[in-house]
A and B are shown apart, each in its own frame.
Chain A
Amino acid sequence: MAEIAPNTSYVAVLGWSLRAIEAIDRFNRKYIVVAPSWAEEYAKDNAIPYIPWEFERLNDRSVELYERLAEEGVEVAVPLYEETVEWAGAINARLQNKPRLFPQSLLFRDKSLMKRRAQLAGIRVGVFEEAHDRDDVRRFLLRVNKALLKLDGDPNDPIHMKPFDKAGTYGHRVIKTNEDIDAISDDEFPCLLESHLDGKEFACEVFIHDGKIRFLNISEYVHLGYSVFIPASPGLEEWRPQIRKAVEHLIQAFEIEHGLIHPEFFITHDGNLHFGEVAYRVPGGNAFELIERAYGFNAYQAHVLVSDPKATEQEIQNFFPREVVDAKGFAGCFLVYPKQRVISDIDMPEAVENDPYYEKHDLFMPANPKVAERVAFGNHYGTVYFFGDDPDRMRELLLKQEEYDFYR
């Protein structure tokens, strides 16, 4: 552990991520990791401060974790994974004596509740509904398309179906036809249905302290579920003032004081900003790695910093660089999904290895050579990282990756 700065909070990290632990270990806050018992041996062997805990649904025993942490002297809980967000809410509510933090965290754990909250605050969202069975989905698809004045036989506009409480694109389905609806299994209900928004989708990583935006990153999706780069291209960055305003609106609506949010928006063709969804934790899809590569600061440390109510103005100002202008270049990544059904080894295409923008990959060869069928946008096999100074070239390069097979 690095030297601990005076007048800082003792932080509990909820969830196990070696990258996060490594970064926080190098940071200047006292910390302890709370993770399932399978991590115990590794933590013990490597002298990582650790408390075992199984994060299931909150239950009567949840208070035990609070008591453990309070006894330990922990002052702030920081969630790493979607599943630990409500735990952090519950624990921080007690630790910081702010009872509303717990119900607030639940807003992020139920996408339907989240949309309602946004709508109540006057934020523009698409049409959405909760579905409990396939008939609900059928009706929603029909009603949305009717509203769009589709005639019989016209192809439907798609709708989106998402689990209430899963991170990112996990379990996300795009539905256009009755066959799509038949393919939904019973255990995917209840879920959220949304109308489709045509337009450019993008995500932000927003570091918030004391209710104020301390750093706003815009991640440009080149192809949702496949490729993204940071900072966004000038074309998207042009929208930064509007985006900043929308994020501020969101912060007010969700009453966020400290921490990191990860909202997704659409810019429609008519120039309107629509809210998609927001997570109150570390983003998936490697955004943190890209931020570090582009700006040089460690986003896990940033997350801990802004989560700490004791962090001073000065410390925060010293920590964060200026948005966009301080970026050393564009950092992009491509999520790899094998094209073949059975793979025998990683096979990096020569063209990729020889590209001056290519940096590294973290592809792995799974124990099972049979490739799992891709469900929605999920389960990629690894990431290929790029870095360069031309956003257009980056975009082209990332799109080009879709032609390659990274496995043989």
Chain B
Amino acid sequence: MSGTGHDKAERLAAQLAEELDRLEAVKPFAKLNYQGHICDLTLRLLKEPQGVQWLYEQAARFDRAGVFYGGDWAHPALLQPALVSASVRGPALSVAIESLSELRLLAIATGEAVNDEITPDGARAFLEDALARNLDLLFPQSSEVARAERTPLLEGVHRLFRFIADRLGTQGILESTVNEATRILRQRPILVHHVREMIDAAVQALAGPGSGAVYEQARRLTNAVHGPSALSRSAASLEHYREALVELDAGALAAEAQTFAHSMHETGLVSPQHAVLLEHILAKNGDEGIARVLGLDSVGRDSLDAYSELVRRLIGRITHPLLAQSIYGLACMLNRGVLFFPPLAPGLWRLTRLQIKAEVAAILQRLVDDSPTPSANALLLAGTVSVLGQPLGVGQGDNPTCQSARAISLWSQCDPGFLLELITWAARDNEVDMHFEGQLLRSTELQTGGVAELHTELDPVSLVLVPHLDRIYWEMGRRIAGRGEDGHKWINPEFHGWWVQRGFATVIQYSSGDVIDFEGFMRLFYISYHPAYNGARQLIYAQPAGIAATDKNAQFIGWHAVSIQRVTVDQDGEVRVYFYNPNNDGGQDWGQGIVTSTAGHGEFPGESSLPFKQFAARIYVFHYNTRELGDPAAVPAAILSEIAALARASWARGVGWHELVSSR
């Protein structure tokens, strides 16, 4: 490094020190006049090789001086690790403030600064979590794409993250990464590339020998991605692995298959070698071999037995290293027994032969960076198999299309034949038709819906279907405009299917946005869904419902679509609502101690769950079966007022609130 660079950093640091003196001296109301210059100096220092070191030397006084005064970063206890990623990649100003905040937390974590709001352990946990979520910035070489996008400022953020990691040690970050990856994988998402990137980055931290449960789990995940068996790991390439497989005797091949299947079902991850192995077994072995390498249970084996030819055809089409992840979807689809549903087999056969419209094919092909293989048809089949196998693994990606994602999930569960129909129309005709109150809606004749441009990090089925669904959904919205009521009352049953109950309850008065008759609404929710008050009736079809999404400070974020999957008692005897959240990650902190669980309370993979009361504190619309209700008077008033208090202190804060006057 040149001497001048060092001098420059030193000069900037001196300016920063002066400016911090000034900032510290002024009254709180005038801090704003100086914060901008501090941010400017921070950005300039970040771009210098030694800049982070210089910044950190002042970090202990950032809070005292008032660097964060009056802004979103003012209270360390309210910060969220999940938001760091967007901040450090965001506008220059947010990069500056976020960087300053990280360094402040580092000073707190190492005991060089004290803060009333957050303990050293709290600061450390925050930073470890934040770094774990941004491993690509900690180890940028892991991603070629990231390399291309690197700017001097992003380089600075990289140096900042390294600096923090060097001082905190990588052990905690590794633990956070592995735990985070494991937590997400337990939900069995269809799209796993983010998790794979996390795992790959963690591997670099694993370079040294280590022991303990975290290292064990990290190795398990890495192997699941890069080679579950010793043989697959030792082969230099997929080609070599293919050749090595030829040498195996029947026993060794069976053991190999078993290892792969075990790894896949344990983690939800599939390695490219799995595709090679499956192809090999398909050519050489009977159904027994296929069942073994897919890890089929008894239902899966029956499915394979009954639809052997179809399954073999599907395997033949989707077995490609780039599509390996869909092997898990295929195994799940067979284990679900969904093939026994009459329209499915012919529907899937049709899909294997489907001529995909050129523009749709081009969109699909972009998923594999326009590689000539696999074909668009194979991509669509792989996606279809995944959605049929993992209905709760559908995510909306970075799109505001929770309605469409939820619809795909619900159809896969309740009406998979119809879903195949929709996929076929969208792929072959690039058009989807639906009816609304007797009138035909053709997606190609409709205006754009909620999203002008779809963020394309999506599974193939969503990629093909969502643009059409979004338009139709918004058109239905336009058609009900002026009725003065929440349109989902009419839209949901027509958009999804007859099995969405026509009984519809909302607690929001459409015209004013005020809360009306919360108590009555909540009683109705209890006597429709709570087994202790609805006559112990089970939910037959998953039902769409609307929640008021809140952040961990219980601040209202927006209205969000989920589906109620089932309501039942968990292992501890607590009644819980199990629901599907299309928002990619079902594990969320909604504030007030309401943290959605995704594992450990009897959840099926992909389900989120909450104690009934906590879920009730966020629901604002639901559908119900008008013929199957309990006694409203049976619901204790104490429970209702407890829930009302939670709602009023969170999403309904500042909203008009009108209870009906009771006649009793």
User: Which residues of A does B touch, CB under 8 Å?
Assistant: 18-19, 21-22, 25, 42, 45-48, 344-348, 350, 353-354, 360-362, 364-365
Contacts and interface: CB of A to CB of B under 8 A. Distances in A.
17 contacts: A21-B29, A21-B30, A22-B26, A22-B27, A22-B30, A42-B29, A46-B27, A48-B29, A345-B91, A346-B93, A347-B92, A350-B152, A353-B44, A360-B36, A362-B37, A364-B93, A365-B93
Contacts of B503: none
Closest 7 CB pairs of A and B: A46-B29, A22-B30, A360-B37, A345-B91, A346-B92, A365-B91, A362-B36
A342 B29 CA distance: 33
Interface of B: 8, 26-30, 32-33, 36-37, 40-41, 43-44, 47, 91-93, 152
A346 B29 contact: no
A365 B92 CA distance: 9
A18 B91 contact: no
Nearest to B38: A360
A18 B30 contact: yes
A383 to B, nearest CB: 11
B40 A18 contact: no
A394 B37 CA distance: 21
B586 to A, nearest CB: 32
Nearest to B28: A46
Contacts of B93: 346, 364-365
A364 B32 CA distance: 13
A25 B36 contact: no
Contacts, number: 48
Nearest to A43: B29
Summarize B's interface: helix, strand, loop or mixed. Answer: helix
A179 to B, nearest CB: 37
Contacts of A21: 29-30
B29 A18 contact: yes
Nearest to B19: A360
A347 B37 CA distance: 15
A362 B41 CA distance: 12
A346 B36 CA distance: 13
Contacts of A350: 152
Given A18-B29, A46-B27, A348-B92, 14 more contacts: A21-B30, A22-B26, A22-B27, A22-B29, A22-B30, A42-B29, A46-B29, A47-B29, A344-B91, A345-B91, A350-B152, A354-B8, A360-B36, A362-B36
Contacts of B40: 348, 360-361
B455 to A, nearest CB: 17
B66 to A, nearest CB: 12
A359 B492 CA distance: 59
Contacts of B36: 360, 362, 364
A361 B41 CA distance: 10
Contacts of B33: 18-19, 22
Nearest to B36: A362
A25 B92 contact: no
Contacts of B26: 22
Contacts of B152: 350
Nearest to A382: B36
B317 to A, nearest CB: 42
A365 B27 CA distance: 26
A24 to B, nearest CB: 11
A354 B36 CA distance: 18
A224 B93 CA distance: 29
A59 to B, nearest CB: 31
B27 to A, nearest CB: 6
A303 to B, nearest CB: 17
B37 A25 contact: no
Nearest to B151: A347
Contact of B92 (A18, A345, A360, A362): A345
Contacts of B28: 46
A344 B90 CA distance: 10
Nearest to B30: A22
A347 B26 CA distance: 29
A25 B27 contact: yes
Contact of B32 (A18, A346, A347): A18
A346 B91 contact: yes
A45 B27 CA distance: 12
A46 B33 CA distance: 14
A25 B29 CA distance: 11
Nearest to A365: B91
A345 B33 CA distance: 21
B47 to A, nearest CB: 8
Contacts of A365: 91-93
Contacts of B41: 360
